[in-house]
Structure 1
Amino acid sequence: MKGVVDSMLDSRWQKQRYHAREELLDIGSVLEDVRLTIAPQIIESAAEITTDFKISEITFVRRKLRSILYNLLNNAIKYTSNGVKPIIKITTEKIDGYIVISVSDNGIGISEEAIQHIFSKFQRIKTNVEGSGVGLYLVHTIVTTSGGKIKIDSSEGKGAVFQVFLTLHNQDKL
């Protein structure tokens, strides 16, 4: 009987150990981690990345915020015309109960028709760029399951702005 109880407790401990927990995060710190991860792409493309954070902290799951920033920043670099230096601006602000993280770029843009399908699993707008079509699907899933939403402002040839709205629950200090 003791062995069964120990096994159950150990199983419960393993589940909790890998269960992602929300914590107070510095958005700039998470962004810096993403920058280090994609440093080769940033250097190769000579990307210029600027930030303007009106809100710098958020209570969220670290790996989920990292995944959101990674996918949006990586796409902003990947989907820039050949020979064009990627110019990317990342901002944060508080709007109507949300922390809004905006990633704007000077990339190839997205047609209105493509925007309708961009968050579908395995959907790729351009097949001449390396990718699997799950990045924006993952971003959309993370954002919507946490009670947020995403808006896109783009047109072909004019770049894109992705606005990620994350709920401000547990953000009393902001």
Structure 2
Amino acid sequence: SRESYINVSTSLNKKFVIISFEDNGLGIDLKKHREKLFGMYKTFHRNKDSRGIGLFITKNQVEALGGKIEVESEVNKGTIFKVYMKYEKH
């Protein structure tokens, strides 16, 4: 019922390159789902093409490289995922 968007931005601190992915989609009820958000085969909406492995794989790969993922979300407002990747200055 609204014009949708995805905003991708980056920032840098002393330890990490931070990639932020923000949308104005359905949002996720973090009070209800935070603990299982990155679980395998977990989905939070009734989309027929959801498989529940994308966040699981992404989190595992990011952490294997020394990073982390943070999430902020509000139902019917949208979600922000922040991916922190180790910053190694050359």
- Scaled by the length of structure 2, the TM-score of the pair is 0.89
Looking at structure 1, the residues matched to 54 and 75 of structure 2 have their Cα atoms a distance apart, in angstroms, of 20
- In structure 2, the residue matched to 1:135 is 54
Tell me which amino acid in the other structure corresponds to 1:109. G
Looking at structure 1, the residues matched to 56 and 72 of structure 2 have their Cα atoms a distance apart, in angstroms, of 17
- In structure 2, the residue matched to 1:147 is 66
Tell me which amino acid in the other structure corresponds to 1:101. I
Tell me which amino acid in the other structure corresponds to 2:36. H
Find 2:23's aligned residue among 105, 120, 123.
105
- In structure 2, the residue matched to 1:117 is 36
> C-alpha displacement at 1:127, in angstroms?
2.7
Q: What are the within-5 Å matches in structure 2 for residues 37-52 of structure 1?
A: none
The runs of at least 4 aligned residues of structure 1 exceeding 2 Å deviation read none
Which one has the bigger strand percentage? 2
- In structure 1, the residue matched to 2:45 is 126
Looking at structure 2, the residues matched to 129 and 160 of structure 1 have their Cα atoms a distance apart, in angstroms, of 20
> C-alpha displacement at 1:86, in angstroms?
1.8
Larger radius of gyration: 1
Contact 1:122/1:132, CA 8 A, preserved across alignment: yes
- In structure 1, the residue matched to 2:5 is 87
Q: Percent identity?
A: 27
How large is the RMSD of aligned CA atoms in angstroms?
1.3
> C-alpha displacement at 1:121, in angstroms?
0.5
Which one has the bigger helix percentage? 1
Contact 1:93/1:101, CA 8 A, preserved across alignment: yes
Tell me which amino acid in the other structure corresponds to 1:166. M
Q: Which runs of 5+ in 1 are unaligned?
A: 1-82
> Does 1 or 2 have the higher relative contact order (CA < 8 Å, sep 6+)?
2
**Equivalent residues, number:** 89
CA deviation profile, 1:131-153 (whole Å, cap 9, x unmatched): 21100101101111110000001
Please state whether the residue corresponding to 2:36 is helix, strand or coil: coil
Q: Which runs of 5+ in 2 are unaligned?
A: none
Looking at structure 2, the residues matched to 128 and 148 of structure 1 have their Cα atoms a distance apart, in angstroms, of 29
> C-alpha displacement at 1:91, in angstroms?
0.4
